[in-house]
Structure 1
């Protein structure tokens, strides 16, 4: 029985830590997703790549898709919008004529004409954040059809305007041995590989955002993982003492009396058990919310105590533990939670 009780304590401790890390990781993911949606990062990322691929880098400002992490999250969201202007018109029956020279946005507008049926406006710009490889291949074939179906003439136009798209399409055309169906499949395969590479690049940049948000959440809530673990163990010991009082009578009253000195024991026990360790830890955030027994919830500014916790070196190892845990992400902690509790995921 003693081993079972000890095991129960460790399971409670593990579940408490996992749930807290899961909730904070979900908060980080939610803030990141809100940031991405409000600033249309995914859509801008896609169209910046397409501008580089179809029209080439801007002569004055270089690549539309910056190489540095700092530029991606400063220039791309705020300073440069690579997306074409939104249009409510359906795609024309025939693709527009190829430009005579590279103008910086000529080919991208021709592509947008072929895919804008699935678009809706977002602050005057396209909101398309994903183009399936098959749809991109069809759009390219439609552009080639606009040159009387002469792929060689279409490629010559791309070469004349110095479009970076010329190289991949020329290679696909030669590999297909001038077979239109194989040419379309080659374009689809090439673009699918490019989208996978772009997704990996996007995820690399997002990791930096998650790292920054994880640090901010840890410091905002001053979530000391080591202190939280100790609080969980104290709560477990307190519950055990309350149970001992109920089963053994006044002889087991000493620990309970030490916790509730000068208070009504019943009220003290009720209030303590109704405020679990996680609630108490989150109550030490920079701004906390309390819900009294009667009346409306109130918001408290804890600037003084928050700064004391931040500036106390003994809390820093616990902050580091929480921060590293958040870097694993919500999916990791959800999987750990399922394994501990035995919850089976849906197929």
Structure 2
């Protein structure tokens, strides 16, 4: 009896794990295709270093809808890619009257462009090491005659939001250059952690939408799938009992299967796992015949009937809630059930 429940648990965990991986894979594909991480980073840098744009709007929108509608398609905050090494001497900061758009971001990119590679004419840098950022700022400060003091004065004259952060770090370091560099590195590392948490919070909404779409696309009924697993287990048990019994048990199995010979019936049933039969309920299914190439089938009518049947909605809800836990959660559950040890 214990093996029955163990098979049920493993079947559910594996199905939720595979669907969660599908959701994560689709999300990662869109993130890489649209360079969301890189745009997210440079939108933050523009807000922090140069402030809002010419229209007074933040480069990093506050609403989830604006982030995933504006950044991928409307506004590209990334600097233009350059395949040249960083210039030996960084450009000087202009005065407030001659301030060009996004001056600080462009000067920062000049100092870090050596770790970049092209992607549609824009930078692909999506992770800026704190140490590289602090060194780049120190190089910019070295261009001013008064050093850090002059650099902070220029930032104040440009009304850069970065001035307040660096001024506090400069005062806390007691005007020591090495401690100032370490303080900038620590501050930027904390900002990147905060930005990562903000990005993950936005991505959770996207994963929730993708999880709903995957559940409805495959019409994966978690409750029906559990019942199918139990039926398969019972069928295997009955086949095993028939194999060890006499002719009377064989006649009973023959009566349960349509046709004269129950062997094809048993073979077909055991060769189609419950998960495969459940995925056949998707909008588009794939069949693998004994001979020939795989073929695609459009299941528009049955899929819609299944989707609009209220008795399946509790199962859809169960699957959707399970997908919200994510692939790492289900992998950890699978590892605990099977006893697979983590290498970490």
- Please state which band the TM-score falls in when normalised by the shorter chain: over 0.9
Question: Secondary structure of 2:296's partner?
Answer: strand
Unaligned ranges ≥5, structure 1: 1-5
Query: Hey, what's the Cα distance between the residues in 1 that align with 2:298 and 2:46?
Result: 48
TM superposition shift of 1:150: 1.2
From 191, 196, 204, the equivalent of 2:193 is: 196
**Do 1:56 and 1:104's aligned partners in 2 also have CA atoms closer than 8 Å?**
no
For 1:35, the equivalent position in structure 2 comes to 30
Q: How far, CA to CA, are the matches of 2:51 and 2:252 in structure 1?
A: 74
- Which residue matches 2:246? 249
Which of 219, 222, 230 is 2:227 aligned to? 230
Which runs of 5 or more structure 2 residues have no equivalent in the other structure? none
C-alpha distance in structure 2 between counterparts of 1:260 and 1:333, whole Å: 37
Q: Which residue does 2:87 correspond to in 1?
A: 92
Match of 1:187 in 2: 184
Q: Tell me by how many angstroms 1:251 deviates.
A: 3.4
Q: What TM-score do the two structures reach when normalised by structure 1?
A: 0.97
Q: Which residue of 2 aligns with 1:279?
A: 276
Report deviation, 1:256.
Answer: 3.0
> What is the aligned partner in structure 1 of residue 72 from structure 2?
77
Q: Output the aligned Cα RMSD.
A: 1.1
Comparing 176-185 and 252-261, the one that deviates more: 252-261
Give the Cα–Cα distance (whole angstroms) in 2 for the partners of residues 92 and 330 of structure 1: 45
Aligned position for 1:141: 138
Deviating beyond 6 angstroms after TM superposition, the runs of 4 or more aligned structure 1 residues are none
Which digits, 9 at most, give the CA deviation of each residue in 1:168-208, with x for residues without a partner? 10011111111000000110111011000000000000000
Q: Deviations over 1:86-125 (max 9, x none)?
A: 0011101111110223433111000000000000110000
Q: State the Cα distance separating 1:259 from its structure 2 match.
A: 4.0
Report the Cα distance in structure 2 between the residues aligned to 1:38 and 1:259, rounded to whole angstroms: 52
Please report the TM-score for the alignment, with normalisation by the length of structure 2.
0.97
Q: Secondary structure at the match of 2:285?
A: strand
Preserved CA contact (<8 Å) 1:223 1:281 = yes
Contact 2:254 2:261 in 1 (8 A): no
Confirm whether residue 56 of structure 1 aligns to residue 43 of structure 2: no
Give, in whole Å, the separation in 1 of the partners of 2:101 and 2:203.
28
User: Following TM superposition, by how much is the alpha carbon of 1:41 offset from its aligned partner in structure 2, in angstroms?
Assistant: 0.2
SS at match of 1:73: helix
Task: Verify the 8 A CA contact 1:241 1:252 in the aligned structure 2.
Answer: no
8 A contact 1:238–1:256 mirrored in 2: no
Shift of 1:248: 1.3
Within the candidate set 164, 172, 177, 2:161 is matched to 164
Checking the alignment, whether the CA contact within 8 Å between 1:52 and 1:63 is kept in structure 2 is yes
- By how many angstroms is 1:328 displaced? 0.4
Aligned equivalent of 2:17: 22
1:56-94: CA deviation from partner (whole Å, max 9, x where unpaired)? 011415000000000001001100000000001110111
**Alignment-derived partner of residue 206 in structure 2:** 209
**Inter-partner Cα distance in structure 2 for 1:258 and 1:197:** 66
1:176·1:183 contact (CA, 8 Å) conserved in 2? yes
Quick check: 1:293 aligned with 2:290?
A: yes
Q: CA deviation at 1:24?
A: 0.3
Distance 1:254 1:66, change over 3 A: farther
Tell me the distance in 2 between the aligned counterparts of 1:170 and 1:285: 59
Q: Tell me if 1:317 matches 2:314.
A: yes
**Residues matched between the structures, number:** 342
Cα shift readout 1:219-258 (whole Å, capped 9, x = no counterpart): 0000000000000000000000100000112333466335
